[in-house]
Structure 1
Amino acid sequence: MRALIAFSRFVGNTFALWVLLFAILAFMQPAWFLPLTAWIVPLLGLIMFGMGLTLKAEDFRDVVRRPIAVLIGVLAQFIIMPCAAWLLCQAFSLPPEVAVGVILVGCCPGGTASNVITWFARGDLALSVAITSVTTLLAPLMTPALIWLLASEWLPVSFSAMFISILKMVLLPIVLGLVAQRLLGERVKTAVDVLPLISVVSIVAIVAAVVAASQAKIAESGLLIMAVVVLHNAIGLTLGYLAGRLFGMPLAQRKTLSIEVGMQNSGLGAALASAHFSPLAAVPSALFSVWHNLSGPLLATVYRRMGRDSAKNEA
């Protein structure tokens, strides 16, 4: 069991490498990964079930203890990324399915990987977990509402269908995870120790399935979509940090806001796009998953040094 836990940690620490590797493999050999398209929604449910297993009451204490900081983070998440996505779609005159895909990933809640990146960047980890948890729980209402508001000019959007999908994909698995945690108690600890492995395998499989299903379209317009994804991520990371600065937050919280806003739950974006639109609409989410798992650790390295330099200056 120790070997499995150690391997799970290794895979979790090298997450970006596996996502990139299998995205390339899926592009080169799509036939190998096409059967995984039927598993996108169950795999996302497995990730959310794992989140439910790890959630604790103290994760929400910051909501009560520091409501203003959490509120700023939640508002920044649901304002900056959706608006940035809409502006990029307009600026690049993206085709309808691609535009909806970009807006979709922009309207998703923060990704759980942001908590790990925040810890590495020496940000405010408790605040990061609180913002991720709150935005995830608000996703069944906020995500379909924002997609309907911003993406309806390109393709028809059903708020009710998306609301039900997110309840099934996100809220129900989280609730089941919380129930399992309560019923099994300490026995859940073993499962939690191997969650990094399960999460990485699930996200890698989702990305590979989306890339394989849209290989021809990626070959045709992948560079444009990638450019939009990189810009979208950069805007979120930058404006998240500036929002923290605007409200006078300390450095650790500014780092947290930057990472929370810039890193999305791209697995949810890919699953929603595949279920309600088309494989092409899922491509921005898949590419976002590849990119933000590269940009996040790079930025965290810079942020980590900022904290060290700040401490030296204070000394």
Structure 2
Amino acid sequence: MKIIARVSAFVGKTFALWVIVFAAAGFLLPDTFKQLAPWIVTLLGIIMFGMGLTLSAKDFQEVVRRPIEVGVGVLAQFIIMPGLAVILTKVIPMPAEVAAGVILVGCCPGGTSSNVMTYLSKGDVALSVACTSVTTLLAPLVTPFLVLMLASEYLPVDAGAMFLSIVKVVLLPLALGFVAQKLLPGFVRAAVPALPLVSVIGIVLIVAAVVGASKGAIIQSGLTIFAVVVLHNGLGYLIGFWAARACGLSLAKRKAIAIEVGMQNSGLGAALATAYFSPLAAVPSAIFSVWHNISGALVANYFSRRTDPADRV
């Protein structure tokens, strides 16, 4: 078990590298990896189950203990990223399916990678975890509603079916993982060290499946999509930081909210886009998954050197 834990820790620390490797593999071997497309929802469910195994009552106590700070993070997540997505789709010409995919990933909750990046940035990890937990729990209601309001001009949106899907692939696995903690504490304690490995495998296979299924579209529109994703992600960090500063939060909290806003649950975006839109609509989520792990590490490194509350970005 110690070997698995060490491998898991190594893979977790080199997450961005593995995402890039498997994205390249999906592009070079599309016929192999596109066969995984029907398993995207299952893979995401496994990842969410792992997240459920790590949730604790303390994560939710943060919401009660400091509701204003968590509220700032949650509102910033669900206002800034969807808003930026809409602006980018209006300013930059792109196919309707890509526009819908950009908006969809913008309407997703925060990604669990943000918690790791916040830790590396010397930010407020407890606030980051609380914001991720709350946005994830709100996702079944908020994400379909936002997608219906913002993306229906590009593609038909079945918000009801999307709601049920998020419940099945996010809330249900989370709940099962949380229950497993209580019923099988010994097993969970033994399994937790291996969770980073499971999560990384799940995410990289989702990315490879989406890239493999959309190779032709990536060749045609890949640079445009990449530019949009970089802008979306980068502006999310920046505006998230400014929003937290405008609310008078400390530097550690600003770091947490900036990273929380900029990093999305792109695995959920890919799963929903594949199920309800098209493989092409899933490409922004796949590229986002690759890019935000690279940019998140860079932002965390930059933030880690800024410890004076008087510092400004």
TM bucket (normalised to shorter chain) is over 0.9
Q: Which residue matches 1:73?
A: 73
Q: Which residue matches 1:7?
A: 7
CA 311–247 in structure 1, closer or farther in 2 if over 3 Å, else same: closer
Q: Which residue matches 1:145?
A: 145
1: CA distance, partners of 2:117 / 2:12: 12
Q: Which residue matches 2:286?
A: 286
2: CA distance, partners of 1:26 / 1:93: 26
Q: Which residue matches 2:229?
A: 229
* Percentage of identical aligned residues: 62
Q: Which residue matches 2:172?
A: 172
CA 229–248 in structure 1, closer or farther in 2 if over 3 Å, else same: same
CA 66–187 in structure 1, closer or farther in 2 if over 3 Å, else same: same
1: CA distance, partners of 2:112 / 2:4: 22
1: CA distance, partners of 2:6 / 2:172: 30
Residue aligned with 1:199, SS = helix
Q: Which residue matches 1:119?
A: 119
User: In structure 2, what residue type is equivalent to 1:300?
Assistant: A
Residue 97 (structure 2) pairs with residue 97 (structure 1): yes
Q: Which residue matches 1:241?
A: 241
User: In structure 2, what residue type is equivalent to 1:27?
Assistant: F
- The CA deviation at 1:186 is 2.5
- The CA deviation at 1:141 is 0.2
Question: Is the Cα contact below 8 Å between 2:250 and 2:309 reproduced in 1?
Answer: no
Residue aligned with 2:155, SS = coil
Residue aligned with 2:94, SS = coil
CA 312–64 in structure 1, closer or farther in 2 if over 3 Å, else same: closer
1: CA distance, partners of 2:262 / 2:87: 16
2: CA distance, partners of 1:236 / 1:49: 27
- The CA deviation at 1:185 is 1.3
User: In structure 2, what residue type is equivalent to 1:229?
Assistant: V
Q: Which residue matches 2:297?
A: 297
Question: Is the Cα contact below 8 Å between 2:251 and 2:309 reproduced in 1?
Answer: no
2: CA distance, partners of 1:93 / 1:134: 34
Q: Which residue matches 2:132?
A: 132
Instruction: Write out per-residue CA displacement over residues 175-208 of structure 1, whole angstroms, 9 at most, x where no aligned residue.
Output: 1111111110122111111000000000000000
Question: Is the Cα contact below 8 Å between 2:52 and 2:177 reproduced in 1?
Answer: yes
Residue 220 (structure 2) pairs with residue 220 (structure 1): yes
> How many positions carry a matched residue from both structures?
311
- The CA deviation at 1:25 is 1.4
Instruction: Write out per-residue CA displacement over residues 263-287 of structure 1, whole angstroms, 9 at most, x where no aligned residue.
Output: 0000000000000010000000000
Report the TM-score, using the length of structure 2 for normalisation: 0.98
Q: 1:41-80 maps to which residues of 2 (within 5 A)?
A: 41-80=41-80
- Name the Cα RMSD after superposition: 1.1
Residue 49 (structure 2) pairs with residue 38 (structure 1): no
2: CA distance, partners of 1:233 / 1:34: 26
1: CA distance, partners of 2:3 / 2:16: 22
User: In structure 1, what residue type is equivalent to 2:261?
Assistant: V
Unaligned segments of structure 1, at least 5 residues: none
2: CA distance, partners of 1:251 / 1:312: 8
- The CA deviation at 1:311 is 7.9
- The CA deviation at 1:18 is 0.2
Instruction: After superposing the two structures, state which structure 1 stretch, 183-192 or 122-131, moved more.
Output: 183-192
Q: Which residue matches 1:85?
A: 85
- The CA deviation at 1:114 is 0.2
- The CA deviation at 1:62 is 1.0
Question: Is the Cα contact below 8 Å between 2:96 and 2:155 reproduced in 1?
Answer: yes
2: CA distance, partners of 1:111 / 1:9: 19
Instruction: After superposing the two structures, state which structure 1 stretch, 58-67 or 197-206, moved more.
Output: 58-67
